Amino acid sequence: MSMIPFKIGQPKKQIVPKTVERDFEREYGKLQQLEEQTRRLQKDMKKSTDADLAMSKSAVKISLDLLSNPLCEQDQDFLNMVTALDTAMKRMDAFNQEKVNQIQKTVIEPLKKFGSVFPSLNMAVKRREQALQDYRRLQAKVEKYEEKEKTGPVLAKLHQAREELRPVREDFEAKNKQLLDEMPRFYNSRLDYFQPSFESLIRAQVGYYSEMQKIFGDLTQQLDQPGHPDELRERENEARLSELRALSIVADD
């Protein structure tokens, strides 16, 4: 009759205290949340700077299109107005590009570098988990031999199992201690790391909008002709549109 080998299951002994496991899960959970927040912030900052550039480039294109409008050749006042607008839009675009470059250098790049650390951290956690599985497996193996009748062969196997367990236990304990020591330090370091970046972001925005106030203030002074109220302008446009519709070339068939 052949002997059925026993199966190695989970150890009966609680090899990692529940409080330690809770501490580990709490600290690692905070870092996982930080990783997601960092990734999302980097993505949103990139989308924001791309939209800013697209806006100022579009404004410059509109002013250039207006300059090429035949009306500018016929109306000097309109040409002067559009020329002033074109100058303002180009100034805005230049300052916007400067702002975006500053944000890219002082905010987006630091976010990217900070985010690049997480794959190594996650790998360290995976190695700790693998070490824990090995520890549990060998601890269960030791317990199985301890439960058997203490014959010579069983005692030899028990000794061998204990010898296999010792370095695995030490490896896990070292990995576990290192992560429990360093994860809170890494998490707390985010304050000192990101504060200069966020201060730079605020300064870049304040500087940009201060320049925009100057640019559009200058533009307002150049456009000294008072504008028409919205209601009057709408009535005038409707009247002109009615005149155009009355032309035979656009009349309905």
Question: Is 59 in contact with 215 (CB distance < 8 Å)?
Answer: no
Instruction: Give Cα 155 to chain centroid, integer Å.
Output: 57
Given the candidates 3.40.50.300, 1.10.1040.10, 1.20.1270.60, 3.10.20.30, the CATH classification of the domain at 18-136+179-222 is 1.20.1270.60
* Sign for the pseudo-dihedral over CA of 90, 95, 97, 98: positive
- Describe the crossing of helices 18-67 and 118-147 by its angle, rounded to 10 degrees: 160
H or E segment and range at residue 19: helix 18-67
pTM of this prediction? 0.78
**Which one has a higher pLDDT value, 226 or 117?**
117
Q: What mean pLDDT is predicted for residues 81-88?
A: 92
pLDDT band at 5 (very low <50, low <70, confident <90, very high): very low
- What count of other Cβ atoms lies within 10 Å of the Cβ of residue 64? 13
DSSP symbols for 126-141:
HHHHHHHHHHHHHHHH
Q: What mean pLDDT is predicted for residues 145-152?
A: 86
